[in-house]
């Protein structure tokens, strides 16, 4: 008979895959992993392996230290299936009994995904020390075809690994045979274990072991009542087992069933002498197994989808954490890293020379020849004058080298201001940004960064960069405006007139579109009119913008229009150079920090999160749409179906 919840098998399997993919994507959020989260353990250990299987029961004998769990397990098995030990925490690994042929008709290993499955060779297998989670198994001919029984490590063990193994068995199980004693029924660890079992709607049979009968007849209802009240457990059956060491060792211990909850008319001093002992395996075989299987699967689904402790709480953690990363990213992008009010101007004569050379390259035929001759004659006539000037003044430094030196001074100013701003940001107390900035500032020495920048700066071919920029800008000018010829003709006068200062601002885009990040940075600067230049030349998450103080560039025609065009060439070159500096600072100082913050800030809205939400909604929808399921009466070992 298949589980009544097989319709959920596929979406639950897909959800399991989607959750793990989400956890991988959410690693950047630095949240605790999936392991140890109860809802995830139920998804992995219970729902995925059992929803699509036939309706069999997994019964686990569980309890605290040295209270006779293995003794009860051996009585259910009808033989010494697992070795007992007088030492605390003797059982280190679970031992599993399966019906003959069960491993051929079921994916037995998939039922216990947290364990390495090994055949049991001898009863002492479960006592061996090992960091590996072993599960020892053997077939048992006395078991019904659809009953699996396990002995487990202590649920209150001082050895964490023992109760981790017991916890995994609890998650996989449908029925728990709870072994209690007068010393352990009120133990905190024991009660916590069974609280979780009750939340998952596990079926529980209580065996109150090591009782003194008839003396304890008046007290066991109080002990079990306290246990049930504090755990939420509603036992299917309650048994009393007397303290009889020899009978326990010889596998002939008696189990006396008691009514629960006890009726008022029950004789509280009933003597065990008048009782007839029960065979636990027989009682387990008569459980309404399909009803219990359905109940425990539904209980696990309920825990998985619970807003407070289930998968939704994990999604809420992700959402809250992404908001923290968003605030950190916004803080990083809300403040300019550095502002240089007067970035060095490229010498006007260099710019004019490049414009003229570009213009010369546009001439064709006779015009090009005539201008080429005149230019050659002009250079010949001026050569003696230049030679005399150099003898008098000494070797003249080229204008481009003068610019290079001035730009290096500006870069030094940028580095100083960037370090100061990052230090200030680290002191604001943002819990995510502070340690990251402190790591950046402490891990890269300023001297090392400056050496890297200086070496890269020395290798830049500034003349080639200027030539390329002039060519790009004038090609656009020629195609867009008939006035470009007038611009070339009057270039000397225009160059002399267009002399406003250039401002440069460096900033981290960090979060959101580039324009959103730039706007607050530029609001208090003088670069608003040329924001598009920054967009053209600055890539990545550290950007630069360059702009000018107001000139007559707002004029649509005339001299002011031409001056603005010349000015645009100068500012565009400055913006490119500032963007180059920003790129180096990104690579050698900030590294991947802006991208990491931005990536983490988007995880809650990412595809992985949306996929998990879709599958949750799908499973919830099916639960709501499912008709009320009636309790079925099929028993373990019975061929009847509901």
Cis peptide before 214 (omega within 30 of 0): yes
Is the same domain home to 269 and 334? no
Q: Is residue 30 part of a domain?
A: no
Is the same domain home to 230 and 336? no
Residue 573: per-residue pLDDT: 86
Backbone angles phi, psi at 240, to 5 degrees: -110, 135
Q: Is residue 143 part of a domain?
A: yes
Is the same domain home to 108 and 246? yes
Q: Is residue 319 part of a domain?
A: no
Q: What is the CATH number of the domain that holds 246?
A: 3.40.50.300
Q: Which of 457-466's residues contact partners 24+ apart within 8 Å by CB, and which partners?
A: 457/404, 457/407, 457/408, 457/411, 460/580, 462/400, 462/403, 462/404, 463/350, 463/400, 465/573, 465/576, 465/577, 466/346, 466/350, 466/351, 466/354, 466/400, 466/573
* CB contact set of 392 (below 8 Å; sequence gap of 6+): none
Is the same domain home to 344 and 464? yes
Residue ranges of the chain with pLDDT lower than 70? 1-4, 53-54, 84-89, 264-274, 362-396, 443-444, 480-501, 509-565, 626-642
Residue 556: per-residue pLDDT: 43
Q: Is residue 199 part of a domain?
A: yes
Is the same domain home to 96 and 239? yes
Q: Is residue 634 part of a domain?
A: no
Strand pairing class (237-242; 256-258): antiparallel
Is the same domain home to 255 and 344? no
Residue 592: per-residue pLDDT: 86
Closest CA to 355 of 484, 499, 482: 484
Residue 494: per-residue pLDDT: 55
Residues 620 and 522: their CA atoms lie apart, in Å, by: 49
Q: Taking CA 604 as the corner, what is the angle to CA 602 and CA 609, rounded to the nearest 5 degrees?
A: 120
Q: Is residue 609 part of a domain?
A: no
Q: Is residue 504 part of a domain?
A: yes
Is the same domain home to 83 and 174? yes
Domain residue limits at 228: 57-287
Residue 530: per-residue pLDDT: 37
Structurally, how many domains does the chain consist of?
A: 2
Q: Is residue 228 part of a domain?
A: yes
Is the same domain home to 280 and 342? no
Is the same domain home to 332 and 236? no
């Amino acid at each position: 008979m298949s589980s009544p919840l097989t319709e959920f098998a596929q979406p639950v399997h897909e959800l399991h895959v989607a959750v793990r993919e989400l956890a991988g994507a959410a690693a950047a959020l630095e949240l605790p992993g999936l392991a140890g989260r109860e809802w995830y353990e139920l998804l992995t250990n219970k729902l995925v392996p059992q929803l699509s299987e036939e309706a069999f029961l997994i019964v686990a004998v569980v309890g605290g230290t040295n209270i006779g769990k293995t003794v009860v397990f051996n009585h259910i098995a009808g033989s010494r299936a697992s070795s007992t030990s007088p030492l605390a925490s003797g059982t280190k690994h679970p031992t599993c009994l399966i019906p003959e042929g069960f491993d051929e008709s079921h994916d037995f290993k998939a039922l216990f995904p947290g364990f390495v499955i090994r055949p049991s060779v001898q009863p002492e297998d479960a006592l061996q020390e090992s960091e590996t989670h072993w599960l020892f198994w053997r077939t048992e001919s006395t078991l019904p075809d659809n009953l699996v029984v396990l002995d487990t490590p202590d649920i209150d063990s001082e050895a964490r690994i023992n109760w981790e193994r017991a916890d995994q068995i609890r998650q996989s199980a449908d029925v728990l045979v709870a072994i209690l004693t007068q010393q352990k029924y009120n133990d905190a660890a024991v009660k916590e274990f069974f609280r979780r079992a009750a939340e998952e709607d596990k079926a529980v049979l209580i065996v109150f072991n090591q009782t003194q009968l008839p003396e304890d007849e008046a007290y066991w209802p109080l002990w079990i009542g306290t246990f049930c009240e504090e755990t939420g457990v509603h036992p299917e059956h309650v048994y009393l087992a007397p303290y009889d060491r020899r009978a326990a060792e010889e596998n002939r211990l008696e189990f006396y069933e008691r009514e629960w909850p006890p009726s008022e008319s029950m004789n509280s001093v009933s003597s065990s002498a008048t009782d007839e002992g029960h065979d636990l395996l027989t009682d387990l075989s008569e459980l309404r197994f399909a009803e219990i299987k359905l109940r425990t699967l539904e209980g696990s689904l309920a825990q998985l989808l619970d807003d407070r402790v289930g998968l939704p709480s994990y999604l809420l953690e992700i959402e809250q954490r992404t908001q923290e990363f968003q605030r950190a990213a916004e803080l990083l992008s809300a403040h300019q890293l550095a502002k240089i009010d007067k970035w060095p101007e490229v010498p006007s004569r260099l710019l004019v020379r490049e414009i003229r050379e570009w213009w010369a390259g546009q001439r064709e035929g006779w015009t090009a020849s005539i201008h080429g001759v005149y230019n050659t004659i002009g250079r010949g006539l001026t050569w003696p004058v230049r030679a005399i000037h150099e003898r008098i003044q000494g070797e003249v430094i080229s204008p481009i080298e003068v610019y290079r030196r001035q730009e290096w001074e500006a870069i030094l100013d940028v580095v100083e201001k960037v370090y100061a701003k990052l230090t200030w940001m680290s002191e604001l107390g943002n819990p995510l940004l502070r340690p990251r900035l402190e790591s950046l500032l402490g891990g890269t020495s300023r001297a090392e960064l400056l050496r890297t920048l200086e070496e890269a700066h020395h290798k830049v071919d500034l003349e080639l960069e200027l030539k390329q920029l002039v060519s790009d800008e004038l090609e656009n000018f020629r195609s867009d405006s008939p006035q470009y010829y007038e611009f070339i003709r009057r270039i000397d006068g225009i160059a002399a007139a267009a002399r406003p200062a250039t401002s440069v601002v460096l900033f981290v885009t960090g979060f959101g579109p580039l324009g959103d990040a730039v706007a607050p940075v530029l609001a208090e600067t003088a670069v608003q009119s040329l924001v598009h230049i920054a967009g053209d030349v600055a890539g990545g998450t550290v950007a630069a913008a360059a702009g000018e103080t107001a000139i007559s560039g707002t004029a649509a025609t005339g001299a002011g229009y031409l001056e603005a065009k010349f000015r645009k060439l100068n500012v565009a070159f400055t913006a490119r150079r500032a963007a180059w500096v920003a790129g180096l600072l990104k690579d050698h100082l900030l590294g991947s920090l802006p991208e990491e913050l931005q990536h983490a800030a988007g995880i809650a809205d990412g595809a992985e999160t949306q996929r998990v939400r879709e599958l949750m909604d799908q499973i919830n929808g099916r639960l709501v749409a499912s008709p009320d399921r009636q309790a079925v009466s099929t028993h373990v070992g019975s061929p009847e179906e509901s």
